[in-house]
Structure 1
Amino acid sequence: MDLAQRPPYSTVDFKALAKADPDFKQTWQACSGKLDFQDPSTLQVLSKAILKVDFGLELSVPDDRLCPPIPNRWNYVSWIQGLLDSTAPSYSNKYDPEREATGLDIGTGASGIYALLCMKSRSNWTMCATDIDKISFGSAAANFAKNNLLSRTKMLHTTPSMPLIPLEALGTQQLDFTLCNPPFFTDSTEMERSLSGTGKATGPNAICTGSSNEMVCSGGDLGFVTRIVEESLVLRDKVTWYSSMLGKLSSAKAIVELLKSHGITNWAVGVLDPGTKTGTKRWVVAWSFGDARPRNSIARPPGGSFPHELLPFPTSYNISLPSSMIGSAAIDKLNDQLSTLDLVWKWHTATATGVGEASENVWGRAYRRAYERRKREGQVEMHANTFDKKAKLAFRITVIQLAGEIVLEWLRGDDQVLWESFCGCVHRWFKQT
């Protein structure tokens, strides 16, 4: 399987894993197929087996440091990949093997797992990795070296007084993304209550071997990610996408509210649910000061798993085609209408998809009248048929003949009203037919 496009985990086939990995096979047979997820050695063997079999990675973690459940970690990395792919400057909305990206793993931990997975699955990605814990820092460096990835990693041993995103200390001007698995608990008492299952209907899925540095900080996950938000307000577009995992739904909701309070209108929410006994549901919130808009499937988790009022504005709009428009008629209508507007439009016949950019509301009645007058007077300059980074709206339109519908996607822009106006305009073209 191509690691660059490996899907998220929904389950782990332990029987198949036992056949593929001799060490895990011994553990599997010793427990007669009933893994003890409260046993640290079992979790170590399982994580190492998944990494080796599914990713070709070797892992070593000290006994007193967090051994990461791989499915949840990979699902976060996979979500970040989808976020970057769907907001690519090329508007491709798919994996580009040539695209380079640099990320930062804030608090990489003893495993360095997020950086390992990012670099192993995307050959043109490089990673920065920070940690305040000396033992974890050394262990992560050893894991990068063991997997021949140290040369693609820029590491920094930080101190509590340093920024969480220390661009200057890293010697880095720009980052494409950040990842973070923050300490979830406010103090040791909260951690002990959570890990023992106190106050919960069921106990924890698996034992946690994390140290206090990895699991506890002032304010817990909400306090830690609030610091990231505050730093982002200063750094702004020096990082394309800021992101962090959160251990509690309440924390994820609070972070989105915080982003909104600061006027940030471009954010995405992900729900990580690996569906395995070693995994626990987590949430991811990402935000950007840029205007590239991620696709709905990335930014808006389905099924009511996150409060609707805290989700970003939809970036997809579907239009059902009238019976008279089934077939090539819809494509002809679309191209005919768009060709009369003062915008850049490129149609790709093979995929029945087009991408366009507009500098303003060029479909409005007043603008169209002025535009037609300028054309008659010979004052209109022809578009160079190239996309402009200063455009206020970029969009994709796909005609899906079998479904009898047109799908509009918001690719770039920070004007929600402009996007809605364009959707209404295209809808009217087909409603009036």
Structure 2
Amino acid sequence: MTTMTKSAKLHPRNPHQGRYDLTALSKGYPPLLVHLTVTPGGEQTINFSNPDSVQALNAALLQHYYQINHWQLPPGYLCPPIPGRADYIHYAADLLAGPAGVPTGKQISMLDIGCGANLIYPIIASRSYGWRCVGTDIDPLALTAAQLIIDSNSTLKGQISLRRQPDSNSILRGIIQPGDVFALTVCNPPFYSSATEAAAANQRKRANLKLPDSPQQRNFAGQQHELWCPGGELAFIKQLISESVEFASQVGWFSSLVSQQSHLKALQAAARQAGAAEIKPINMQQGQKSSHLLAWRF
């Protein structure tokens, strides 16, 4: 069992500051109540080694902060930590800011590459800024689950649409159509290069959180295509950069999450070689975890 707090280093517009108020979250989402427990020190928490508890916490957060009343994932699908995902959206929004601040409303469109079943980025972007969002994925079941979330929440209808990527060897090709214009693309790439690497990383994470040893269990779950691909995130983002050249006139800013700081130098070099006019690496800090956002435009 472990407790989890959020760092004051989150983006200033990120609403997920400080400790989770589990009492308030449970009032808005009563199913969270059965997952509450108490630490030896007397603090209220949940069991973060239990994927069902993590999913219940996420559902409660989405209800409390984004008025999402129905959010459910198929078993075993990625259940991401919402505060960190919100950080990405708010830092990415800064890329679009002008003298009047961050633009809002449906005239701003965002493309989420690999939205998964959870639909986190489009939910946060549409509810925080009113943007129109398109989510894409190669997995039909993930898109079916994501569509159910849209259909079950009136706040999302007309704000989010979905597209299936028919070619597992392509990222933007087959998705961005003639006439499409996106202010921003976001992406949470597969981080690992193999199932073995993903399993080893999961074990390190569980050890850092002092969770029971369990090679099969991930507290945030994840399907194979969500977690790893040949070459890992470095190869995936390099391909994204390569394909982005073809759609330079249709997209304002391309971006991707980068989990390994050691990959940034090579990725920035790839963006320069592709002809990007501006490249921005942005450091994001969530508690003890550090991640990076790489953005580029032509």
TM-score, normalising length from structure 2?
0.82
Letter aligned with residue 44 of structure 1: Q
Contact kept, 8 Å, 2:78 with 2:117, in 1: the verdict is yes
- Partner residue of 2:65 out of 45, 54, 59: 54
Contact kept, 8 Å, 1:245 with 1:285, in 2: the verdict is yes
Aligned to 1:239: 251
Structure 1, unpaired ranges of 5+: 290-433
Which stretch shifts more, 39-48 or 25-34? 25-34
- Partner residue of 2:186 out of 175, 179, 202: 179
Aligned to 1:121: 128
The percent of aligned pairs where both chains have the same amino acid is 25
User: Are the structure 2 counterparts of residues 172 and 11 from structure 1 closer, same or farther at C-alpha, using a change threshold of 3 Å?
Assistant: farther
Aligned to 2:19: 12
Instruction: Report Cα offsets for 1:140-193 as digits up to 9, x if no partner.
Output: 111111123243333211133463124666454321110100110000010011
Q: Give the C-alpha shift of residue 130 in structure 1.
A: 0.9
Aligned to 2:286: 274
Aligned to 2:195: 188
Using the alignment, how far apart are the partners of 2:115 and 2:284 within structure 1?
19
Q: Give the C-alpha shift of residue 77 in structure 1.
A: 0.9
User: Are the structure 2 counterparts of residues 182 and 120 from structure 1 closer, same or farther at C-alpha, using a change threshold of 3 Å?
Assistant: same
Instruction: Report Cα offsets for 1:223-247 as digits up to 9, x if no partner.
Output: 1111110011222232100001112
Q: Give the C-alpha shift of residue 120 in structure 1.
A: 1.5
Structure 2, unpaired ranges of 5+: 1-11, 212-217
Contact kept, 8 Å, 2:105 with 2:129, in 1: the verdict is no
Instruction: Report Cα offsets for 1:379-419 as digits up to 9, x if no partner.
Output: xxxxxxxxxxxxxxxxxxxxxxxxxxxxxxxxxxxxxxxxx
Aligned to 2:32: 24
1:158 equivalent to 2:169? Answer no
What secondary structure is seen at the aligned counterpart in 1 of 2:208? Answer: coil
- Partner residue of 1:255 out of 267, 270, 292: 267
Aligned to 1:36: 47
Which stretch shifts more, 146-155 or 246-255? 146-155
Instruction: Report Cα offsets for 1:299-321 as digits up to 9, x if no partner.
Output: xxxxxxxxxxxxxxxxxxxxxxx
Aligned to 1:304: none
Using the alignment, how far apart are the partners of 2:270 and 2:25 within structure 1?
45
Using the alignment, how far apart are the partners of 2:96 and 2:269 within structure 1?
23
Using the alignment, how far apart are the partners of 1:158 and 1:98 within structure 2?
26
The alignment of Structure 1 onto Structure 2 pairs a total of residues equal to 275
Which stretch shifts more, 9-18 or 68-77? 9-18
Q: Give the C-alpha shift of residue 26 in structure 1.
A: 3.6
What secondary structure is seen at the aligned counterpart in 2 of 1:94? Answer: coil
Contact kept, 8 Å, 1:196 with 1:203, in 2: the verdict is no
1:286 equivalent to 2:295? Answer yes
Letter aligned with residue 71 of structure 1: P
More relative contact order, 1 or 2 (CA 8 Å, 6+ apart): 2
Letter aligned with residue 64 of structure 2: V
Contact kept, 8 Å, 1:28 with 1:35, in 2: the verdict is yes
What secondary structure is seen at the aligned counterpart in 2 of 1:224? Answer: helix
Aligned to 1:214: 226
Q: Give the C-alpha shift of residue 217 in structure 1.
A: 0.7
Letter aligned with residue 178 of structure 1: T
Q: Give the C-alpha shift of residue 203 in structure 1.
A: 5.2
Aligned to 2:150: 144
Select the structure of larger CA radius of gyration: 1
User: Are the structure 2 counterparts of residues 210 and 161 from structure 1 closer, same or farther at C-alpha, using a change threshold of 3 Å?
Assistant: closer
Instruction: Report Cα offsets for 1:45-94 as digits up to 9, x if no partner.
Output: 11111111111113111121011211011111111112112xx4xxx241
Using the alignment, how far apart are the partners of 1:226 and 1:204 within structure 2?
34
Q: Give the C-alpha shift of residue 263 in structure 1.
A: 4.3
Q: Give the C-alpha shift of residue 41 in structure 1.
A: 1.1
Using the alignment, how far apart are the partners of 2:64 and 2:167 within structure 1?
37
Using the alignment, how far apart are the partners of 1:128 and 1:34 within structure 2?
35
Q: Give the C-alpha shift of residue 95 in structure 1.
A: 3.2
Contact kept, 8 Å, 2:191 with 2:228, in 1: the verdict is yes
Letter aligned with residue 132 of structure 2: T
TM-score, normalising length from structure 1?
0.58
Q: Give the C-alpha shift of residue 268 in structure 1.
A: 1.6
Contact kept, 8 Å, 1:102 with 1:177, in 2: the verdict is yes
Contact kept, 8 Å, 1:18 with 1:28, in 2: the verdict is no
Task: Output the aligned Cα RMSD.
Answer: 2.7
